[in-house]
């Protein structure tokens, strides 16, 4: 996991929706001398959910007239939004706090690691304030205590309707809930972020509409468990444009589908009601893309993991989804080397991969997270075996992925341009989420800009990416 250093040389940093990514908030404000009132720096570590929290804090700071600056020297105070998901993320967060203290001296800590206040204070006693995940008001009130609120100037402190975004202008994360009701044994998120807390559907849809009006072409729906949206409030009916709408994944998708942009679903669990959204995908209303973190395929290991969803019927369900929507792309993540995983159970996982033919797959070696109940399980797997299993797993998936991408050669797809550099343009089809999946390279194509949607024909592939040429619409 790399830390984006809080450095005046940094250009505005696009978001990386990889759970292990880090972000520095940098704002293209001209650099001015330290000590000018109302200047705040922020470093955002961790997953897209944390990034959305940082965007909210920055939006509120800007609304109050604070200026967000890109260097330790310019800031009167630095906020570090931490991640505490795995041990390496904890270490990165602690290192970043240390760096911010050394470089600036006035530091507030927020985010997941904030739930371990004692641990932070033991190492960094000089931190000014600590708050947990999505504690926006607490962060703001701590800022007020240490940095005088600047006089509000309506001309220089304009905040766009969509708030402050840390992603490029053409895509945005839409966080629909906080927390999680599950208790997967390898995960400590519920202890850091609490139980499921769904945002009112009208609020989510208003935010989506503001983002679309501001030029966003792709909405990435995120949460800890998107398919559980609304369970905590018994699918309460909210209102949107004068119409009643239930706080439920299906109804949310139906409304988002009307906004005329790409809508991509992340962190969906294979509950039976997920079947309902597949026809929306088949009709082209939302992207035929599902990010489902299966984590394993052996029923015994899944039971030990206490995973939601029923794996027994998963293959059947995937096949049924593909019959309804043949274009459906499934992305997933897995853990190998979970405590007690036998050679046979690992083979079961490989066989699942071969049978399920998933399009995009990430894999992690199991690593114990402090506070996770899986640590108490017996038969922890040795590092060497974990490495071996990871390599085997990735080899199987690489062959599947290469074959699937090869089948795309000759086909035409609409792509969304993410970047144009000296080699040409880079875009993505519906099959690829930003940063975590693959891309389409358009060599020597310069007549496009980020956010454009164009049609391309695929001419080449490898095991991860595609190459294409622009075609007339």
Which residues of the shown chain bind ligand SF4 in the complex (CB under 6 A)? 180, 182-184, 187, 189-190, 224-225, 308
Residues in contact with 101: Cβ distance below 8 Å, sequence separation at least 6, in sequence order: 107, 124, 126, 127
Choice between 200 and 308, CB closer to ligand SF4? 308
Closer of 226 and 255 to ligand SF4 (Cβ): 226
CB of 267 to ligand SF4, least distance (A): 7
CB of 60 to ligand SF4, least distance (A): 26
- CA dist 246 and 229 (Å) reads 10
| Residue 177 or 255 having the CB closest to ligand SF4 | 177
Say whether 238 sits in a helix, a strand or coil: strand
Q: Contact at 8 Å (CB) between 67 and 107?
A: no
Helix residue ranges, H only, 326-458: 343-356, 383-406
CA pair distance 32, 69, nearest whole angstrom: 9
User: Rounded to the nearest whole angstrom, what is the least distance from the CB of residue 173 to ligand SF4 in the complex?
Assistant: 16
**Alpha-carbon Rg for the chain in angstroms:** 23
Q: Which is nearer to ligand SF4, 21 or 184 (CB)?
A: 184
CB-nearer residue toward ligand SF4: 183 or 213: 183
The strand pair at 329-336 and 360-365 is best described as: parallel
Whole-number minimum distance, CB 182 to ligand SF4, in Å?
4
Q: Please, are residues 132 and 112 in contact by the beta-carbon 8 Å criterion?
A: yes
Q: From the CB of 392, what's the least distance to ligand SF4, in Å?
A: 24
In this structure, what token pair is assigned to residue 371? 């506070």
Name the minimum Å distance from CB 436 to ligand SF4: 16
What DSSP character marks residue 376?
G
How many whole angstroms separate alpha carbon 379 and alpha carbon 21?
Answer: 31
Cα–Cα nearest to 335, from 187, 224, 193, 226: 187
In the bound state with ligand SF4, the residue whose beta carbon lies nearer, of 165 and 331, is 331
Which CB atom, from 75 or from 363, has the smaller least distance to ligand SF4?
Answer: 363
Nearest to 120 by CA among 85, 140, 90: 90
* Shortest distance (Å) from residue 430 CB to ligand SF4: 25
Q: What's 39-85 look like in SS3?
A: EEEEEEECCHHHHHHHHHHHHHHHHCCCEECCCCCCCCEEEEEECCC
Q: Least separation, in Å, of the C-beta of 107 and ligand SF4?
A: 28
Shortest CB 264 distance to ligand SF4, Å: 18
Of the pair 53, 73, the CB lying nearest ligand SF4 is at 53
Whether the Cβ atoms of residue 193 and residue 316 lie closer than 8 Å to each other: no
- Shortest gap between Cβ of 183 and ligand SF4 (angstroms)? 6
Q: β-strand 39-45 against 67-68: which pairing, if any? A: parallel
Nearer Cβ to ligand SF4 (121/183): 183
Q: Nearer Cβ to ligand SF4, position 42 or 189?
A: 189
| 182 versus 408: smaller Cβ distance to ligand SF4 | 182
Least Å from the CB of residue 442 to ligand SF4 = 36
Quick one: tokens of 167? 């992603």
**Closer residue to ligand SF4, CB minimum distance, 107 or 305:** 305
> Least separation, in Å, of the C-beta of 189 and ligand SF4?
4
Which single residue is written with the structure tokens 């962190």? 267
DSSP per residue over 259-317, as a string? TSSEEEE-S----GGGGGGHHHHHTTSS-SEEE---B---HHHHHHHT-SS-GGGHHHH
The number of helices, as runs of H, and strands, as runs of E, in the chain is 12, 21
Q: Among 147, 178, 151, which residue's Cα sits nearest to residue 56?
A: 178
CA atoms within 13 A on the CB side of 291: 23
Nearest residue to 190 via CA among 51, 1, 373: 373
């Amino acid at each position: 996991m790399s830390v984006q250093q809080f450095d005046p040389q940094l250009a505005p940093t696009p978001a990386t929706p990889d759970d292990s990514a880090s972000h520095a908030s940098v704002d293209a404000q001209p650099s001015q001398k330290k000590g000018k009132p109302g200047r705040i720096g922020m470093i955002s570590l961790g997953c897209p959910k944390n990034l959305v929290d940082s965007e909210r804090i920055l939006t509120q700071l800007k609304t109050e007239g604070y200026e967000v600056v890109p260097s330790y020297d310019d800031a009167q105070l630095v906020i570090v939004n931490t991640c505490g998901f795995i041990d390496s993320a904890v270490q990165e967060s602690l290192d970043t706090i240390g760096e911010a203290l050394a470089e600036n001296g006035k530091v507030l800590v927020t985010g997941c690691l904030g739930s371990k206040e004692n641990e932070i204070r033991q190492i960094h006693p000089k931190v000014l304030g600590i708050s947990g995940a999505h504690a926006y008001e607490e962060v703001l009130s701590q800022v007020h205590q240490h940095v005088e609120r600047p006089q509000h100037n309506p001309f220089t402190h304009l905040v766009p309707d969509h708030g402050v975004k840390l992603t490029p202008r053409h895509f945005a994360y839409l966080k629909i809930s906080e927390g999680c009701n599950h208790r997967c044994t390898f995960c400590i998120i519920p202890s850091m972020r609490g139980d499921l807390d769904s945002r009112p559907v009208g609020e989510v849809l208003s935010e989506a509409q503001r983002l679309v009006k501001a030029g966003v072409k792709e909405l990435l729906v995120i949460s800890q468990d998107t398919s559980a949206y609304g369970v905590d409030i018994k699918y309460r009916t909210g209102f949107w444009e004068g119409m009643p709408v239930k706080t439920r994944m299906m109804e949310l998708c139906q409304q988002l589908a009307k906004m005329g942009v790409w809508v991509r679903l992340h962190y969906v669990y294979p509950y039976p009601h997920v079947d309902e959204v597949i026809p929306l995908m088949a009709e082209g209303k939302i992207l035929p893309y599902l990010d489902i973190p299966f984590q394993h395929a052996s029923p015994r290991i899944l039971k030990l993991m206490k995973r939601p969803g029923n794996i027994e019927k998963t293959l059947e369900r995937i096949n049924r989804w593909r019959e309804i929507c043949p274009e459906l792309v499934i992305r997933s993540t897995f853990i190998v080397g979970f405590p007690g995983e036998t050679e046979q159970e690992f083979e079961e996982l490989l066989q699942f991969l071969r049978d399920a033919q998933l399009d995009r797959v990430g894999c992690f070696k199991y690593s114990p997270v402090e506070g996770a109940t899986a640590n108490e399980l017996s038969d922890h797997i040795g590092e060497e075996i974990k490495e071996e299993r990871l390599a085997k797993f990735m080899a199987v998936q690489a062959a599947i992925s290469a074959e699937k991408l090869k089948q795309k050669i000759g086909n035409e797809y609409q792509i969304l341009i993410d970047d144009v550099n000296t080699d040409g343009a880079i875009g993505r089809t519906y099959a690829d989420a930003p940063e975590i999946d693959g891309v389409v390279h358009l060599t020597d194509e310069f007549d496009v800009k980020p956010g454009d949607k164009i049609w391309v024909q695929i001419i080449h592939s490898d095991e991860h990416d595609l190459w294409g040429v622009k075609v007339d619409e």
